[in-house]
Structure 1
Protein backbone atom coordinates (compact mmCIF):
# COMPACT_ATOMS: atom_id res chain seq x y z
CA UNK A 1 0.00 0.00 0.00
CA UNK A 2 1.18 3.54 -0.74
CA UNK A 3 1.01 5.72 2.37
CA UNK A 4 -0.68 9.06 1.71
CA UNK A 5 -2.51 11.93 3.42
CA UNK A 6 -5.38 12.22 0.95
CA UNK A 7 -6.22 13.34 -2.56
CA UNK A 8 -4.27 16.52 -3.36
CA UNK A 9 -5.95 17.74 -6.53
CA UNK A 10 -7.89 16.96 -9.66
CA UNK A 11 -6.45 18.11 -13.00
CA UNK A 12 -8.70 18.74 -15.98
CA UNK A 13 -7.88 19.42 -19.61
CA UNK A 14 -10.08 22.30 -20.80
CA UNK A 15 -10.49 24.10 -24.12
CA UNK A 16 -10.54 27.63 -22.64
CA UNK A 17 -8.70 28.13 -19.34
CA UNK A 18 -10.15 31.62 -18.72
CA UNK A 19 -13.72 30.37 -19.28
CA UNK A 20 -13.14 27.39 -16.97
CA UNK A 21 -11.58 29.61 -14.26
CA UNK A 22 -14.57 31.94 -14.44
CA UNK A 23 -16.99 28.98 -14.12
CA UNK A 24 -15.30 27.47 -11.04
CA UNK A 25 -14.93 30.88 -9.38
CA UNK A 26 -18.54 31.95 -9.97
CA UNK A 27 -20.23 28.59 -9.37
CA UNK A 28 -18.09 27.12 -6.57
CA UNK A 29 -16.33 30.15 -5.10
CA UNK A 30 -12.87 28.74 -5.81
CA UNK A 31 -9.92 31.10 -5.77
CA UNK A 32 -6.91 31.24 -8.07
CA UNK A 33 -3.81 30.23 -6.12
CA UNK A 34 -1.41 30.28 -9.09
CA UNK A 35 -1.73 31.04 -12.77
CA UNK A 36 1.72 30.81 -14.36
CA UNK A 37 0.42 31.47 -17.88
CA UNK A 38 -2.73 31.56 -20.03
CA UNK A 39 -2.65 27.77 -20.48
CA UNK A 40 -2.67 26.77 -16.80
CA UNK A 41 -4.52 27.76 -13.64
CA UNK A 42 -4.59 26.31 -10.15
CA UNK A 43 -7.68 26.89 -8.00
CA UNK A 44 -8.53 26.04 -4.40
CA UNK A 45 -11.51 26.10 -2.09
CA UNK A 46 -9.15 26.07 0.88
CA UNK A 47 -8.97 22.30 1.09
CA UNK A 48 -9.88 21.04 -2.38
CA UNK A 49 -7.63 21.86 -5.31
CA UNK A 50 -8.30 21.92 -9.03
CA UNK A 51 -5.73 22.27 -11.81
CA UNK A 52 -6.94 23.49 -15.20
CA UNK A 53 -4.74 22.93 -18.26
CA UNK A 54 -5.42 23.90 -21.85
CA UNK A 55 -5.59 20.60 -23.71
CA UNK A 56 -6.13 19.43 -27.24
CA UNK A 57 -8.81 16.98 -28.36
CA UNK A 58 -6.10 14.31 -28.32
CA UNK A 59 -5.36 15.04 -24.66
CA UNK A 60 -9.04 14.82 -23.72
CA UNK A 61 -9.65 11.48 -25.43
CA UNK A 62 -6.80 9.83 -23.49
CA UNK A 63 -8.72 10.10 -20.21
CA UNK A 64 -12.13 8.87 -19.14
CA UNK A 65 -13.61 10.78 -16.21
CA UNK A 66 -17.19 9.95 -15.21
CA UNK A 67 -17.64 12.81 -12.73
CA UNK A 68 -16.23 14.50 -9.66
CA UNK A 69 -18.11 16.00 -6.75
CA UNK A 70 -18.40 18.80 -4.23
CA UNK A 71 -19.97 18.03 -0.84
CA UNK A 72 -22.34 20.36 1.03
CA UNK A 73 -23.18 20.48 4.74
CA UNK A 74 -26.99 20.33 4.66
CA UNK A 75 -29.89 19.41 2.41
CA UNK A 76 -31.02 23.05 2.64
CA UNK A 77 -27.66 24.17 1.17
CA UNK A 78 -28.01 21.56 -1.56
CA UNK A 79 -31.53 22.72 -2.45
CA UNK A 80 -30.50 26.39 -2.42
CA UNK A 81 -27.59 25.59 -4.74
CA UNK A 82 -29.90 23.68 -7.08
CA UNK A 83 -32.26 26.67 -7.26
CA UNK A 84 -29.28 28.96 -7.94
CA UNK A 85 -27.98 26.61 -10.66
CA UNK A 86 -31.37 26.67 -12.40
CA UNK A 87 -31.80 30.44 -12.02
CA UNK A 88 -28.34 30.98 -13.49
CA UNK A 89 -28.99 28.54 -16.35
CA UNK A 90 -26.22 26.08 -15.53
CA UNK A 91 -26.23 22.95 -17.66
CA UNK A 92 -28.03 20.47 -15.36
CA UNK A 93 -26.78 16.97 -16.19
CA UNK A 94 -29.06 15.20 -13.68
CA UNK A 95 -31.79 16.79 -11.56
CA UNK A 96 -31.98 16.82 -7.77
CA UNK A 97 -32.81 13.39 -6.36
CA UNK A 98 -32.58 11.33 -3.19
CA UNK A 99 -30.53 8.13 -3.44
CA UNK A 100 -31.12 4.76 -1.73
CA UNK A 101 -28.31 5.39 0.76
CA UNK A 102 -29.94 8.60 2.03
CA UNK A 103 -27.68 10.95 0.11
CA UNK A 104 -29.16 13.69 -2.07
CA UNK A 105 -27.48 15.17 -5.14
CA UNK A 106 -27.69 16.81 -8.52
CA UNK A 107 -25.17 17.10 -11.34
CA UNK A 108 -24.08 20.02 -13.53
CA UNK A 109 -21.68 20.30 -16.48
CA UNK A 110 -18.84 22.79 -16.73
CA UNK A 111 -18.13 24.61 -20.03
CA UNK A 112 -16.08 21.61 -21.25
CA UNK A 113 -18.79 19.08 -20.43
CA UNK A 114 -17.14 17.69 -17.29
CA UNK A 115 -19.86 16.37 -14.99
CA UNK A 116 -19.84 17.67 -11.41
CA UNK A 117 -21.95 16.13 -8.63
CA UNK A 118 -23.16 18.39 -5.82
CA UNK A 119 -23.80 16.05 -2.90
CA UNK A 120 -25.25 15.90 0.60
CA UNK A 121 -24.01 12.68 2.22
CA UNK A 122 -25.52 12.17 5.71
CA UNK A 123 -22.57 10.21 7.08
CA UNK A 124 -19.98 12.90 6.28
CA UNK A 125 -21.66 16.18 5.26
CA UNK A 126 -22.29 17.44 8.81
CA UNK A 127 -18.65 16.90 9.81
CA UNK A 128 -15.61 19.10 9.27
CA UNK A 129 -13.63 17.79 6.31
CA UNK A 130 -9.81 17.78 6.40
CA UNK A 131 -9.81 20.39 9.16
CA UNK A 132 -11.59 23.00 7.05
CA UNK A 133 -13.11 25.63 9.30
CA UNK A 134 -16.00 26.57 7.04
CA UNK A 135 -17.35 26.13 3.56
CA UNK A 136 -16.25 28.37 0.72
CA UNK A 137 -18.85 30.95 -0.25
Structure 2
Protein backbone atom coordinates (compact mmCIF):
# COMPACT_ATOMS: atom_id res chain seq x y z
CA UNK A 1 0.00 0.00 0.00
CA UNK A 2 1.29 3.43 -0.94
CA UNK A 3 0.74 5.92 1.90
CA UNK A 4 -1.02 9.18 1.13
CA UNK A 5 -1.22 12.52 2.93
CA UNK A 6 -4.96 12.72 3.47
CA UNK A 7 -8.12 13.73 1.65
CA UNK A 8 -7.20 17.31 1.00
CA UNK A 9 -8.65 18.03 -2.43
CA UNK A 10 -12.27 18.30 -3.46
CA UNK A 11 -13.66 19.43 -6.81
CA UNK A 12 -17.29 20.47 -7.20
CA UNK A 13 -19.27 21.31 -10.33
CA UNK A 14 -21.46 24.35 -9.70
CA UNK A 15 -24.42 25.96 -11.43
CA UNK A 16 -23.42 29.56 -10.62
CA UNK A 17 -19.69 30.09 -10.10
CA UNK A 18 -20.00 33.67 -8.85
CA UNK A 19 -22.54 32.71 -6.16
CA UNK A 20 -20.57 29.63 -5.08
CA UNK A 21 -17.32 31.59 -5.03
CA UNK A 22 -18.87 34.23 -2.76
CA UNK A 23 -20.26 31.51 -0.46
CA UNK A 24 -16.91 29.72 -0.02
CA UNK A 25 -14.93 32.97 0.30
CA UNK A 26 -17.24 34.82 2.69
CA UNK A 27 -18.86 32.12 4.81
CA UNK A 28 -15.99 29.63 4.97
CA UNK A 29 -13.06 32.01 4.61
CA UNK A 30 -11.44 30.13 1.72
CA UNK A 31 -8.68 31.99 -0.12
CA UNK A 32 -8.31 31.93 -3.91
CA UNK A 33 -5.00 30.31 -4.90
CA UNK A 34 -5.57 30.02 -8.66
CA UNK A 35 -8.13 31.22 -11.15
CA UNK A 36 -7.04 29.84 -14.52
CA UNK A 37 -10.09 31.13 -16.41
CA UNK A 38 -13.62 32.51 -15.80
CA UNK A 39 -15.09 29.01 -15.33
CA UNK A 40 -12.73 27.66 -12.68
CA UNK A 41 -11.46 28.79 -9.29
CA UNK A 42 -9.27 26.99 -6.76
CA UNK A 43 -9.30 27.76 -3.03
CA UNK A 44 -7.33 26.75 0.02
CA UNK A 45 -7.65 27.20 3.76
CA UNK A 46 -3.95 26.44 4.11
CA UNK A 47 -4.02 22.65 4.30
CA UNK A 48 -6.45 21.71 1.56
CA UNK A 49 -7.61 22.50 -1.96
CA UNK A 50 -11.17 23.10 -3.16
CA UNK A 51 -11.87 23.49 -6.87
CA UNK A 52 -15.10 24.94 -8.23
CA UNK A 53 -15.89 24.24 -11.88
CA UNK A 54 -18.74 26.03 -13.65
CA UNK A 55 -21.08 23.63 -15.45
CA UNK A 56 -20.85 24.63 -19.12
CA UNK A 57 -23.67 26.72 -20.61
CA UNK A 58 -24.75 24.02 -23.09
CA UNK A 59 -25.03 21.45 -20.31
CA UNK A 60 -26.46 23.93 -17.80
CA UNK A 61 -29.50 24.56 -20.02
CA UNK A 62 -30.43 20.89 -19.67
CA UNK A 63 -29.07 20.38 -16.15
CA UNK A 64 -31.42 18.65 -13.72
CA UNK A 65 -30.18 18.63 -10.13
CA UNK A 66 -30.23 15.12 -8.67
CA UNK A 67 -33.00 14.28 -6.20
CA UNK A 68 -30.32 13.08 -3.83
CA UNK A 69 -26.58 13.10 -3.92
CA UNK A 70 -24.28 10.10 -3.85
CA UNK A 71 -21.86 12.06 -1.68
CA UNK A 72 -23.54 12.13 1.73
CA UNK A 73 -21.60 15.20 2.88
CA UNK A 74 -18.15 16.69 3.20
CA UNK A 75 -16.82 18.55 6.19
CA UNK A 76 -14.80 21.44 7.46
CA UNK A 77 -12.88 20.97 10.71
CA UNK A 78 -13.25 23.69 13.32
CA UNK A 79 -11.03 24.41 16.31
CA UNK A 80 -13.64 24.16 19.07
CA UNK A 81 -17.33 23.63 19.79
CA UNK A 82 -17.60 27.41 20.22
CA UNK A 83 -16.35 27.88 16.65
CA UNK A 84 -19.02 25.42 15.46
CA UNK A 85 -21.66 27.55 17.20
CA UNK A 86 -20.17 30.74 15.72
CA UNK A 87 -20.36 29.34 12.18
CA UNK A 88 -23.89 28.07 12.83
CA UNK A 89 -25.02 31.59 13.75
CA UNK A 90 -23.20 33.05 10.74
CA UNK A 91 -24.86 30.60 8.33
CA UNK A 92 -28.25 31.35 9.94
CA UNK A 93 -27.63 35.10 9.55
CA UNK A 94 -25.95 35.26 6.13
CA UNK A 95 -26.37 31.90 4.39
CA UNK A 96 -29.69 32.73 2.76
CA UNK A 97 -28.14 35.30 0.47
CA UNK A 98 -26.12 32.47 -1.13
CA UNK A 99 -28.93 29.90 -1.12
CA UNK A 100 -27.48 28.08 1.89
CA UNK A 101 -29.74 26.47 4.48
CA UNK A 102 -29.26 24.66 7.77
CA UNK A 103 -29.76 20.92 7.22
CA UNK A 104 -29.30 19.81 10.86
CA UNK A 105 -28.75 21.97 13.96
CA UNK A 106 -25.72 21.63 16.26
CA UNK A 107 -25.45 18.31 18.06
CA UNK A 108 -23.06 16.71 20.53
CA UNK A 109 -22.03 13.25 19.26
CA UNK A 110 -21.22 10.15 21.32
CA UNK A 111 -17.54 10.24 20.31
CA UNK A 112 -17.06 13.73 21.76
CA UNK A 113 -17.37 15.54 18.45
CA UNK A 114 -19.80 18.40 17.91
CA UNK A 115 -21.25 19.53 14.60
CA UNK A 116 -24.05 20.89 12.46
CA UNK A 117 -24.89 20.47 8.78
CA UNK A 118 -25.66 23.10 6.16
CA UNK A 119 -25.85 23.29 2.37
CA UNK A 120 -23.83 25.16 -0.20
CA UNK A 121 -25.61 27.02 -3.03
CA UNK A 122 -25.96 23.82 -5.09
CA UNK A 123 -27.34 21.75 -2.22
CA UNK A 124 -24.15 19.90 -1.29
CA UNK A 125 -24.26 19.12 2.42
CA UNK A 126 -21.35 20.38 4.53
CA UNK A 127 -20.67 19.29 8.10
CA UNK A 128 -19.07 21.93 10.32
CA UNK A 129 -17.22 19.66 12.74
CA UNK A 130 -15.24 19.86 15.93
CA UNK A 131 -13.55 16.47 16.28
CA UNK A 132 -11.37 16.17 19.41
CA UNK A 133 -8.41 14.46 17.72
CA UNK A 134 -8.31 16.18 14.33
CA UNK A 135 -9.32 19.63 15.59
CA UNK A 136 -6.26 19.73 17.90
CA UNK A 137 -3.75 18.81 15.18
CA UNK A 138 -1.24 21.48 14.27
CA UNK A 139 -1.58 22.28 10.59
CA UNK A 140 1.03 24.15 8.62
CA UNK A 141 -0.27 27.09 6.57
Counterpart of 2:46? Answer: 46
1:32-69 superposed Cα distances (whole Å, 9 cap, x missing partner): 111111211111111111001112437979x7211110
Tell me the equivalent position of 1:99: 109
Inter-CA distance 43–64: structure 2 relative to 1 (3 Å threshold): same
Structure 2 matches for 1:1-137, cutoff 5 A? Answer: 1-55=1-55, 56=59, 57=63, 64-88=70-94, 89=96, 90-129=100-139, 131-132=140-141
TM-score, normalisation: structure 2:
0.82
SS of equivalent residue, structure 1 residue 123: helix
Distance in 1, matches of 2:92 and 2:65, equals: 31
CA drift of 1:113 comes to 0.4
Looking at structure 1, the residues matched to 114 and 32 of structure 2 have their Cα atoms a distance apart, in angstroms, of: 29
Please state how far the C-alpha of 1:31 moved relative to its aligned partner. Answer: 1.1
CA distance in 1, matches of 2:66, 2:52: 12
RMSD after superposition: 2.1
**Contact 2:27–2:90 (Cα < 8 Å) also in 1:** no
- Structure 1 gaps of 5+ residues are 133-137
- Normalised by the length of structure 1, the TM-score is 0.84
Number of positions where the alignment pairs a residue of Structure 1 with one of Structure 2: 130
Alpha-carbon distance change, 125 to 105 in structure 1, aligned in 2, over 3 angstroms: same
